[in-house]
Amino acid sequence: MHGRDGTDARGGLGTLDEAVRRDLEVIGYPRREWVPPRYHDGRRVLDVAIIGAGQGGLATAFALRRTSIDNVQIFDRAARGGEGPWITFARMITLRTPKYVTGPDLGVPNLTPRAWFEARYGAQAWEKLDKIPRQDWQAYLDWYRDILDLPVANDHALEAVEWEDGLLRLSFRTSGGDVHTHYARKLVLATGIEGCGEWHVPAFIRDSLPRERFAHTSEAIDFDALKGRRIGVLGAGASAFDNAATALEAGAGSVTLCLRRREIPSINPYRWMENTGFLAYFPALEDRLRWGFMRRIFELNQPPPQDTFWRCRRHANFAYHTGCPWEGVRMDGDDIVVRTPKGEMRFDFVIIGTGFTVDLSRRPETRSFANSVALWRERYAPPAGEESEVLGTYPYLGERYQFIARDPADPLAPMLANIHNFTFSATPSMGLSGASISGMRFGVERLAQGLGRDLYVADGQEHLDSLLSYDTPELVSLDPPVSDPV
């Protein structure tokens, strides 16, 4: 296997592997595990269970290891290689973030995406690169997981969380139907964009069309089957344009994209957010300011990248309509008829790019405690004219990403304090974090420090007792050693 500039990729990666191991050895202090072990029914209780083996979950496990918290397990419902969106439903050609963005490496140079890319393809290829292809990003994450030997249990879908004897009781189910139970002191939800809700399909579409005639952009789509067909796409974001482009490239007869806004969004607030001040210190702001930031960011939305837009526009059979929400749909024979302010449109298949809904009750891993979680609308009342129904649905988190109970007297309040939300829905409270490459470096370190702090404080008496009983002598001799005669 050779890189894009003719370099030996296997040799380059082998050399990089050795460099990573050397880096970790050099910075490996302190080296000993410090969290006192807990047991339940004869089994070691996990100090931290992480749900999701994508970029956020993997980086969190590494950050915990850097703080000598090793009794950690990552669980993911997908089979090995299918974690995250990058080779499943992501349909962009490259990442949207600049190639120089770092994150999972946590400041270790030889763990950076650049180091991996140069080892695989060569330094010249990196210099020529605009943005990292999404398949390469997944390959980087696979290498990252392997070189760090991170503990991942694939094919484990979390179905329920319960509070039992001061521990989190986690129930998992495999694709074969087997049920596994694990106990943990801390739980991190690193389940991505939709991690606190579900992908959204408007009810009027879901209730009016046969299931085989529409798909959300997050679903598997047989684009080859759309060849020659009339495709309608609803949405203004990058994923809507990505799916439109993919359909066009697969030979669709026509693709028509409709969006509610009167103009396609053009300003990307994520580029503004990529500064140390915002990424590191946003969570320290008062509610009024955090609400103001997020209201503006959500209002702007993320536009399709320029290359994604041109990817669609280069096709003569592509059309888009602004100020054109879908008001209703129906079947007319074999045609899908969409009613819009600009008249009726007819399609053979429609793709829905309307994002996701934040609703903890719709996720199996959060359903059992959803009604106990405080939301932003319950903790902050914005001034007139600054309301946001969407922002109000997001969970209001504590400074360590933990859920907070609506009622402090709720029996589940102690449980919620040990569940840390590292999904996109943490954004209004914590800024960019695990579901964003741009904010990962700061978010992961903040989360890992918070988890370690909570564990240490909870075990404070045990640590004091350990010191009081510590009797390992360091000074063992009062006489100097006798020198060997010359």
User: For residue 452, is it within any domain?
Assistant: yes
Same domain for 104 and 24?
Answer: yes
Check residue 4 and give its pLDDT: 57
The structural domain count of the chain equals: 2
Same domain for 75 and 212?
Answer: no
User: For residue 314, is it within any domain?
Assistant: yes
Q: What is the pLDDT of residues 331-355, one digit of tens each?
A: 999 999 999 999 999 999 999 999 9
- Among 354, 371, 396, the domain boundary falls at 354
Same domain for 165 and 27?
Answer: yes
Q: What is the pLDDT of residues 32-84, one digit of tens each?
A: 899 999 999 999 999 999 999 999 999 999 999 999 999 999 999 999 989 99
User: For residue 470, is it within any domain?
Assistant: no
Check residue 379 and give its pLDDT: 97
Same domain for 49 and 182?
Answer: yes
Check residue 140 and give its pLDDT: 97
Check residue 11 and give its pLDDT: 67
pTM of the model as a whole: 0.94
Same domain for 307 and 423?
Answer: no
User: For residue 478, is it within any domain?
Assistant: no
Same domain for 48 and 118?
Answer: yes
Same domain for 336 and 423?
Answer: no
User: For residue 294, is it within any domain?
Assistant: no
Among 400, 375, 383, CA closest to 451? 400
Same domain for 186 and 104?
Answer: yes
Same domain for 86 and 211?
Answer: no
Give pLDDT tens digits along the chain (486 positions).
555 554 455 568 999 999 999 999 999 988 889 999 999 999 999 999 999 999 999 999 999 999 999 999 999 999 998 999 999 999 999 998 889 988 899 999 999 999 999 999 999 999 999 999 999 999 999 999 999 999 999 999 999 999 999 999 999 999 999 999 999 999 999 999 889 999 999 999 999 999 999 999 999 999 999 999 999 999 998 999 999 999 999 999 999 999 999 999 888 888 899 899 999 999 999 999 999 999 999 988 888 889 999 999 999 999 999 999 999 999 999 999 999 999 999 999 999 999 999 999 999 999 999 999 999 999 999 999 999 999 999 999 999 999 999 999 999 999 999 999 999 999 999 998 867 888 898 999 999 999 999 999 999 999 999 999 999 999 988 888 887 666
User: For residue 277, is it within any domain?
Assistant: no
Check residue 107 and give its pLDDT: 94
User: For residue 259, is it within any domain?
Assistant: yes
Check residue 486 and give its pLDDT: 61
Same domain for 325 and 388?
Answer: no
Same domain for 95 and 228?
Answer: no
User: For residue 484, is it within any domain?
Assistant: no
Among 365, 352, 356, CA closest to 199? 356
Query: Which CATH number belongs to the domain containing residue 336 in this structure?
Result: 3.50.50.60
- Among 354, 387, 421, the domain boundary falls at 354
Same domain for 251 and 373?
Answer: no
Could you list the residue range(s) of the whole structural domain that residue 228 is in?
Answer: 201-266+303-354
